[in-house]
Amino acid sequence: MSHLHFMGIGGVSMQGLARWWHADGHVVSGCDLSDGPAQQALRALGMHVWQGHDPDHLDGVDTLVTTMAVPSDHPEVQRAHEVGIRVVPRIGLLAELFERRVAIGITGTHGKSTTTGLTATLALAADVDPSIQIGASLAGLEHNVRYGNGRHLVAEVDESDPGFALLRPSIAVITNLEDDHVAGEFDERRNYHASMRDLEHATAQFAHSAEHVLYCLDWPGLEALLGDHPGAARYGVHPDADYRIVDMDLTSEGSRFALRLPSGRVASATLTIPGHHNVLNAAAALAAIDLAGLDAVAVAPALATFRGVGRRWQRWGDVNGALVIDDYAHHPTEVRATLTAARSSGRRVRAVLQPHRWVRTARLWPALADAASLADEVLVLDVYASGESAIDGVGASLIVARLREAGVSASHHDMISAVAHLRATMHRDDLVLTLGAGDVWRVAEALVDGGPLAGGNA
């Protein structure tokens, strides 16, 4: 038994690892600048969690776990080095977990949380007592982690951390790969690769460390990047896919499809989450389960029980007939896919768009505006900074202007004015969709609850 101390323990990924190591019988403590429900829940499990940072937290600690946000000259880190405490980045601790299980590591620019949730659902149906690490909430799990005594681990892998290249999964799943978490000409390096080439190199390194790599043959560029892997398997609607999607039927509420396995067997699936992109996510999950040696055909019916992961097409409720949905989509490709699914409802689609991170917005705002133009109306909020410094000349007004040039009804709002505008104008045939990786969900909550905006002013 060892004592692990987590700096920034309130983060989603750090919480998951802390919970897993605690369940494994280790002493776990942590600290965070903020204090809230996440930290309180960890204390309820018996972990000592401080608000704020202090080198004295390290008394009796064997391993200090850090994140990319923690600078190397931080006093806690310096104290750890001075007294001989092992310092491990979060991704390094995840690597240790991978070594202890038959790990299905799922990454990609889009869909990794949903694909991880779908794969976890299938692994649970296979009754193999799996461990699960996911970057979002999943019904049936306490928070975002499950400690299992079985051999299998299903884990979401965040490609924004360049250290993911050092992970060694048994099965590497690559849903797609696109220009995101790339700094380009900007100085910001937290959660960013220097260039698209660097991101591709890290992805290839991650994939080639695995016994099997599974990737979407429909996605441009993945075949050239990963096709030379001796354990490569491809999924998609492409006729050359090893795991081929056939008989796909999309509706506004979900889909039905069949997946033809390399063995010739066919897994039939029903989804209650909409969109072609979610069929691809489910196909990846079924294929990964098959590669792990489990019976994908037998467990495929479990997909019908999957209701999504937190903040992915999350239905908040109805307001006098208007449907209110929240979604984590923040990259142009994700926004386009989510709005395409929304349009299939036949309702008037009204999007509340919150651009996420200054560097991403500076590099991708034209594409973000073009994707958002699929909505009938777009309310654009200010950039959710996520700790980044503002970039001159970048902001919501650029997106609004481009949308108006395209003939789309668009306006700039803060959260309070967005809620007020929607409350005054919502029609029973509307679908209101909040989009972004920040706190735009508060708009959806306020609309459905009918009270003041959660958390105060925007």
Instruction: Tell me how far apart the alpha carbons of residues 267 and 287 are, in angstroms, rounded to a whole number.
Output: 10
Break the chain into its structural domains and give their ranges: 3-88, 101-305, 314-449
- Do domains 3-88 and 101-305 share one topology? The answer is no
Q: In CATH terms, is domain 314-449 a member of 3.90.190.20? A: yes
- Distance (Å, whole) CA 290 – CA 285: 9
Q: Quote the pLDDT of residue 143.
A: 81
What span, in angstroms and rounded, lies between the C-alpha atoms of 12 and 249? 35
Q: What does pTM read for this prediction?
A: 0.93
- DSSP secondary-structure letter at 311? T
- Asked if residue 325 lies in contact with residue 431, where contact means CB atoms within 8 angstroms, the answer is yes
Tokens of 110: 């889009």
* Helices within 393-440 (DSSP H only): 396-405, 415-425
Q: Retrieve residue 324's tokens.
A: 């209110």
**Which residue type occupies 290?**
D
Whether 412 contacts 396, CB under 8 Å: yes
SS3 393: coil
pLDDT tens track for 328-339? 999 999 999 999
Q: Is the pLDDT of residue 454 over 70?
A: no
Radius of gyration of the chain (CA): 22
Per CATH, the architecture of 3-88 is what? 3-Layer(aba) Sandwich (3.40)
Give me the amino acid identity at 323. Answer: L
- Indicate if the pLDDT at residue 346 is higher than 90: yes
pLDDT in tens, 119-178: 999 999 999 999 999 999 998 887 899 999 999 999 999 999 889 999 999 999 999 999
Q: For residue 242, which phi and psi values (nearest 5 degrees)?
A: -70, -40
Closest among 110, 130, 221, 220 to 171, alpha carbons compared: 130
- Tell me, which fold does domain 101-305 have in CATH? UDP-N-acetylmuramoyl-L-alanine:D-glutamate ligase (3.40.1190)
User: What is residue 99's predicted lDDT score, i.e. its pLDDT?
Assistant: 96
Q: Inform me whether the pLDDT recorded for 189 exceeds 70.
A: no
DSSP secondary structure code for residue 432 in this structure: E
Task: Give the CA angle between residues 348, 353, 354 to the nearest 5°.
Answer: 165
How far is the C-alpha of 410 from the C-alpha of 432, rounded, in Å? 14
Helix, strand, or coil here: 8?
A: coil
Q: Which strand ranges, in their side-by-side order, compose the sheet holding 102-107?
A: 145-146, 131-133, 152-156, 102-107, 171-174, 212-216, 232-236, 243-250, 255-260, 266-271
pLDDT at 456 (0 to 100): 43
